[in-house]
Structure 1
Amino acid sequence: MKLALILNVIDPKIGGVMIMGDRGTGKSTTIRAIADLLPEIEVAADDLFNSHASNYDLMSDIIKQKIEQGINISTEFIKVPMIDLPLGATEDRLCGTIDIEKALNEGIKTFEPGLLAKANRGILYVDEVNLLDDHLVDILLDSSASGWNTVEREGISIRHPSRFVLVGSGNPEEGELRPQLLDRFGMHAEIRTVKDPSLRVQIVEQRSDFDKDPYSCIEKFEKRQCQLKSDIVLAQNRLSNVNIDYDLRVKISEICGLLNVDGLRGDIVTNRAAKAFAAYHNNDKVDVKDVKKVIKLCLRHRLRKDPLDTIDSGSKVTQVVDDILGSE
């Protein structure tokens, strides 16, 4: 789970993480904690959509118009947005709608941005994603596929960038996720309750220490957290120089073919995740070990479910990977 989140921070194009597991295993806590590891981003000042000041793909139409008119864009640095999508959210809250207060008081039609606007260039987190209403799932699918959100409301037509890392968590006992949405997640991690008694005691003690004195507990781990933050920033800068051999790319695609993975997302995500993992470990070239470390996270949720099959999808991926890449 932690590895999948870190790799998505290094390369957001991996496409997010789906984390399924038992209740009380720290899924939500871990996901919300990742926000503290993210470096600040530069955005256009007073912009509703966290627009980039020089990258056209990450700019709202308003900022583009200002640039075309020769207006100088002032910028500021902000923390990467971490937006929660509650299960009971309405479509208007997610997409944005007309600002009723301004319309009534001033007679002006203006757009009030929704959660997709606030999550641009950040993380959109959906807890209990398998319980999310179908109409909200459709909106998420559309915006995550195109990277844009289009709103047509009461005479207002707005289109703004909506590039976010989609992170979901849930308990498989509470229901399955729609295959279309599951396929949108770049990686899939399964969490099980720890069985080792000594490790369980360690977790309980750390939790008790935090409840007694949160500040000293944060201070205790601050040095390690700063080191992790620094490693992530270095990996982000190194990522564009990481290469993966043609032969290794062929083997990745061979594994996807043998597993009957639908489409090519599995190949693309595995290549990206392997590069991010190599960059994270200070390497400029992807090797077999890097691929083996990430491929199960990238493919386990993309396999077709056979109701008569008793083998776990993760085990099936491991078997094929060992056959193609070797079991060392």
Structure 2
Amino acid sequence: MSTKTYRYPITAIVGQEKMKQALLLNVVNPKLGGVLIRGEKGTAKSTAVRALADLLTELKVVNLPVGATEDRVVGTLDIEHAIKHGEKKFEPGLLAKADGHILYVDEINLLEDHIVDVLLDAVAMGINTIEREGISYSHSSRFILIGTMNPEEGDLRPQLLDRFALSVEVSGERDARQRVEVIKRRLSYEKDPEAFCQSYGTDQLLLETQIRQARETLKHVQISDDMLSLAARLSIGLDMDSHRADIMMIKTAMTIAAVDGRTEACLEDMKQAAQLVLPHRLRQAPFAAREVSYDRIDLLIDEISVVK
């Protein structure tokens, strides 16, 4: 009997288009800045993240459990070995294992504050440094940070929230036919995982090819001064102080263009990028409404585009 584990294919997930788009963009452009997925349990958040590893052989998903100790996350130094032999002996932690891959944190809003601080340092610097008894060791720690959470269980610290390039809200399907399809596919998968996954083999291969082609196209994507001005004016119009949102919008729009096989980002790319980049940042503004509609963002973009 085969012992191979067959994960639910990402191409088999019904609906949740914004979530799948946000994940795809980060795989195409690992420098983008990660994605936060917010929604109730049972909305395919974890399924989608873990399914990414099946698309590209060089990609793996490293899980950071909510209850992980700091040593497990950052790694440890063998002080006794260093004293006896005069050399550093490093036992890698999760940040080392995630280098060049995906670091996935389920229920990320429940992380201990000292672990959040470690994550913030690694995300900001791309380097993890361990210091013990006057001995220090540093290593590369560049990863795609993906967090999932149920908003009903508490909020995320603003400092960490702002570090996510993209954020999406997911919920259960409201269309009866879509919900029926969710049930059918899940039952089919549970009955025979191997056959189910094989039935999506072509779709998976097409998506892998699209990702690899988009990575190459991204190297050549250009963006006009008009689009740069649009990003700046949109952030000003929404009373955002940080320049991070502007930069993330531009990088995301360029990645969207690459996924679509184009070498120049357009207005529609900017609209899609703004919907992924802005909402979770606007919630943190003082006295701002808790929810920002996509229609409001689109309307402001249209107004800015007409009045240059």
What range describes the TM-score normalised by the shorter chain of this pair?
0.7 to 0.9
| Residues 310, 210 of structure 1: alpha-carbon distance in 2 compared, 3 angstrom cutoff | closer
1:217, CA displacement in angstroms? 0.4
The answer as to 2:22 corresponding to 1:4 is yes
1:36, CA displacement in angstroms? 1.6
Q: Which of 167-176 and 289-298 deviates more?
A: 289-298
1:252, CA displacement in angstroms? 1.3
Matched-pair contact (CA < 8 Å) for 2:77–2:130: no
Matched-pair contact (CA < 8 Å) for 2:110–2:154: yes
Q: Which amino acid is the alignment partner of residue 12 of structure 1?
A: P
Alpha-carbon distance in structure 2 between the residues aligned to 1:311 and 1:157? 44
Q: TM-score, normalising length from structure 2?
A: 0.87
Matched-pair contact (CA < 8 Å) for 1:98–1:154: no
**Secondary structure at 2:172 match in 1:** coil
The answer as to 2:270 corresponding to 1:291 is yes
Matched-pair contact (CA < 8 Å) for 1:262–1:302: no
CA RMSD of aligned residues (A): 2.2
Number of aligned pairs?
A: 287
Q: Which amino acid is the alignment partner of residue 55 of structure 2?
A: L
| Residues 118, 146 of structure 1: alpha-carbon distance in 2 compared, 3 angstrom cutoff | same
Alpha-carbon distance in structure 2 between the residues aligned to 1:24 and 1:216? 23
| Residues 314, 180 of structure 1: alpha-carbon distance in 2 compared, 3 angstrom cutoff | farther
The answer as to 2:229 corresponding to 1:211 is no
The answer as to 2:244 corresponding to 1:226 is no
**Secondary structure at 2:281 match in 1:** coil
**Structure 1 spans left out of the alignment, 5+ residues:** 41-78
Matched-pair contact (CA < 8 Å) for 2:221–2:263: yes
**Secondary structure at 1:124 match in 2:** strand
The answer as to 2:36 corresponding to 1:18 is yes
Alpha-carbon distance in structure 1 between the residues aligned to 2:83 and 2:205? 49
Q: Which amino acid is the alignment partner of residue 92 of structure 1?
A: D
Percent identity of paired positions between Structure 1 and Structure 2: 45
Alignment partner of 1:141 out of 97, 120, 140: 120
Matched-pair contact (CA < 8 Å) for 2:214–2:261: yes
1:318 aligns with 298
1:66 aligns with none
1:76 aligns with none
Alpha-carbon distance in structure 2 between the residues aligned to 1:310 and 1:226? 40
Q: Which amino acid is the alignment partner of residue 31 of structure 1?
A: V
Alpha-carbon distance in structure 2 between the residues aligned to 1:154 and 1:115? 21
1:218, CA displacement in angstroms? 0.5
The answer as to 2:271 corresponding to 1:261 is no
**Secondary structure at 1:241 match in 2:** coil
1:192, CA displacement in angstroms? 1.5
Alpha-carbon distance in structure 1 between the residues aligned to 2:218 and 2:290? 39
1:108, CA displacement in angstroms? 7.2
Matched-pair contact (CA < 8 Å) for 2:79–2:132: no
Matched-pair contact (CA < 8 Å) for 1:111–1:156: no
Q: Which of 212-221 and 309-318 deviates more?
A: 309-318
Q: TM-score, normalising length from structure 1?
A: 0.82
The answer as to 2:51 corresponding to 1:33 is yes
Q: Which amino acid is the alignment partner of residue 82 of structure 1?
A: V
**Structure 2 spans left out of the alignment, 5+ residues:** 1-18
Matched-pair contact (CA < 8 Å) for 1:81–1:118: no
